[in-house]
Amino acid sequence: MKIRFWGTRGSIPTPGERTVRYGGNTACVEVRDNAGALLILDAGTGLRELGLSLNGDELKRIDLLLSHLHWDHIQGIPFFKPAYDRKTEFHIHGPKQRRAVRDMIGVGMDDPFFPVDLDGLPAKLEIHDLDANISIQIGSYTVRTAPVFHPAPTLAYRVEADGRSLVYATDTEDPFSGRDNPIVTLASGADTLVHDAQYTIADYKRTWGHSTIDAAIEVAAKAGVKRLVLYHHDPDRADAQLDAIGRESSARATFVKPGLEVVVAREGLELTI
């Protein structure tokens, strides 16, 4: 598999000189298998640029997995160009809510919040409510779900294809929840773990639904993953700070679990799994 990061920021888009290298768009990751089949993880503002890059047969069917429905993970849907193409079959999969996922996403696009209603999108739109702790097949991808601790129904995903495995676990505070951490089980032996790393120990905010960088390293070590990608950067985190986090995290990983590769996610970063 190959992955590309189109948005790595948490909470709110942060364009500007302080974030130009790591990017200011919110959560969005492109996944491709060996045959080029597309799977998208989250629909933050990075989804817009991803949509502009797609053409031809890539528009026939698009599958999007939402971790949850907070604004920074769905902001890109109204600006996703393929959603306005009648040839596109657009499938959105998201964690089951108190109301249907379709209704919940639609609230943010209904008048007076946006000029195009969700039901007015020209693409053939299907929205699927996902349970926790299930396995589903999406084309060539096998996807497993796990619930995580966050102030809204939220899922982490394990995506497998071509004998490789990727775990996407953003917006999780499980290392501090006092429960058995479902990410450790979900990510066991995975090739790559993309994990929430919004906070440092110094600025960690309990019950806000996010992890510290050190906690992400500990989770990766316990799960025995090969590569950890630090993700969902705090909106106040400037490029220079993320540079320092990269150096410090690699050093800490060498101490906690020798051989663990640590990468700081940035827009445009491409990784082979």
Asked whether the beta carbons of 197 and 213 are under 8 A apart, the reply is yes
Q: At what angle do helices 239-256 and 213-223 cross, to 10 degrees?
A: 40
- Mean pLDDT in the chain? 96
Structure tokens at 85: 């193409």
What CATH number corresponds to the domain at position 102? 3.60.15.10
Q: How many domains does the chain fold into?
A: 1
- Cα–Cα distance, 108 to 253 (Å, whole number): 40
Report strand pairing: 135-138 vs 227-231.
unpaired
Question: Is 90 exceeded by the pLDDT of residue 250?
Answer: yes
- Provide the 3-class DSSP secondary structure of residue 247: helix
Q: Which domain holds residue 248?
A: 2-272
CB 41 within 8 A of CB 17: no
Q: Residue 57 above 90 pLDDT?
A: no
144-175 burial by CB neighbour count: b if 16+ within 10 A, else e?
Answer: bbbbbbbeebbbbbbbbbeebbbbbbbbbbbb
pLDDT at 131: 97
pLDDT 10s digits, 3-46: 999 999 999 999 999 999 999 999 999 999 999 999 999 999 99
Judge residue 110's burial from the number of C-beta atoms within 10 Å of its C-beta, 0-12 exposed, 13-18 middle, 19 or more buried. Answer: middle
The pTM for the full model equals 0.97
| pLDDT exceeds cutoff 90 at 59 | no
Amino acid 200: pLDDT: 96
> pLDDT digits over 140-198, tens only?
999 999 999 999 999 999 999 999 999 999 999 999 999 999 999 999 999 999 999 99
Instruction: Report the pLDDT value the prediction gives residue 216, as an integer from 0 to 100.
Output: 98
Which tens digit of pLDDT belongs to each residue from 97-141?
Answer: 999 999 999 998 988 999 999 999 999 999 999 999 999 999 999
The predicted model gives 53-72 an average pLDDT of: 94
